[in-house]
Chain A
Amino acid sequence: MRLFSLHTKTTEELIERYQQPLYWHIRRMVVTHEDAQDVLQNTFIQIHLHLSELRDEDHERAWVYRIATNEALLWLRDKRELVSLEDEDASALLKNLSADPYTDNSDRLVVLMQEAILRLPTMQRTVFNLRYYDELPYEEIASITGSSVSAAKTNYHYAKERISNYVTSKIPQ
C-alpha cells in the first residue's frame, strides 16, 4: 500500500511541476483548448502508468515532454490532422485556430506566425516549438523527438526560414 502511495505522490509532484509547460506544448500542437485538455490528461495517465521507466531527475523533463509529444501526435493522427497543410485534410488545424473560442485572433502578426508554424511538417513544427517557446537545449529536443542533435538544429533552422518567408509574404507592402 505504501509503495502505491509513493507512486501516486510522485505523479502528483510531476503534475505540479509540468502541468502548465506541457499544456502549452500540447496546445501549440493540437490548437484547441478542449483537445489540449484531453491530451494533457492522457499524458499524465501515461506518465503515472510508466513512472517506473523514469531513470533519474536529469532525464525527467525530456521524458515527460516525450510522452506529451507522443500523445499529441497520436491524437492528431486519430483525428487525421497529422499532416502538413499541403494536404487538404490538414486544413482542419487552421480552421481550429480561427474557430476555437479560446483563441485570441486580434493580433494579426501573432496569428500569422501560428499559421506559418501549423503549415510546417510535423517534425519541424515540433522541434521549432520546443526550441523557440520551451527553450529546450538541442540535446533534449533530440531525445524527445527521437532524432539527432544535428537533425534538430537543421529542422529548427529550416522552420525559422519557412515561418519568416510565410509571414513576410502575407504582410502588405
Chain B
Amino acid sequence: MNKCENMEMNKCENIFEQVQKQTPYRTPEGFFDTEEQELKRAIRRRASKRLWLRYAAAAAILLFAAVYPLMHLMHSSHANEVPLYVQTDNTQGEWTDFAEADIFLENMDW
C-alpha cells in the first residue's frame, strides 16, 4: 500500500493509513478524571432518590393496610345502631324510619 508523503503533491491512495485513526476531537484538560467522579455522584444521587421513593411507597402501603381494617370495623359497628328517626307532626305519632329511603310508619295515628 502506498503512503502519502506529501498530501499537496499526491493524491492519497490510502488515507486510512495516513490518518492512523486520528480525529480532530479534543477534551478539556483533566476532563475524564472529573467526569468519572461526576458520573458516580449522579448515579449515587439517583440510586438514593429511588431508594427513598421505594421506602415512601412501602410506608404508604403499610399504613393503608393498617388503617383500612380499622375503618371497616368502625363502619360495621354503626350497622346495629338505631336508625335516624324524625318526629311526625302528630304528637302521638311514631317516629319515622328513614333507613334506605324507605319510610315505615308504625302505629301512626291517622
A105 interface residue per 8 A CB criterion: yes
| A-chain residues with CB within 8 Å of residue B39 when the two chains form the complex | 15, 19, 40-41, 44
| B-chain residues with CB within 8 Å of residue A19 when the two chains form the complex | 32, 35-36, 39
Return 19 A-B CB contacts under 8 Å, by A number. Answer: A4-B47, A8-B44, A19-B36, A19-B39, A23-B35, A27-B25, A41-B38, A41-B42, A45-B46, A103-B25, A107-B24, A110-B22, A110-B23, A113-B15, A168-B11, A168-B15, A171-B7, A171-B12, A173-B11
Contact, CB under 8 Å: A7 / B47: yes
Contact, CB under 8 Å: B12 / A109: yes
Name the interface residues of B1-52: CB closer than 8 Å to any CB of A. Answer: 7-8, 11-16, 18-19, 21-28, 32, 35-36, 38-40, 42-44, 46-47, 50-51
Bound complex: CA A103 to CA B25 (Å): 5
The interface residues of chain A, by DSSP majority, are classed as helix
The interface residues of chain B, by DSSP majority, are classed as helix
- Residues 130-173 of A, flagged 1 when their CB comes within 8 A of B and 0 if not, give 00110000000000000000000000000010011001100111
For B7, B24, B36, B47, the residue with the greatest tally of chain A CB atoms inside 10 Å of its CB is B24
The verdict on A167 contacting B12 (CB below 8 Å), with A44-B39, A48-B47 known, is yes
Taking beta carbons and an 8 Å cutoff, which residues of B are in contact with A? 7-8, 11-16, 18-19, 21-28, 32, 35-36, 38-40, 42-44, 46-47, 50-51
Further pairs besides A27-B23, A37-B35: 13, Cβ < 8 Å: A8-B44, A15-B40, A40-B39, A44-B39, A102-B26, A103-B24, A103-B26, A104-B25, A104-B26, A105-B24, A132-B16, A132-B21, A133-B21
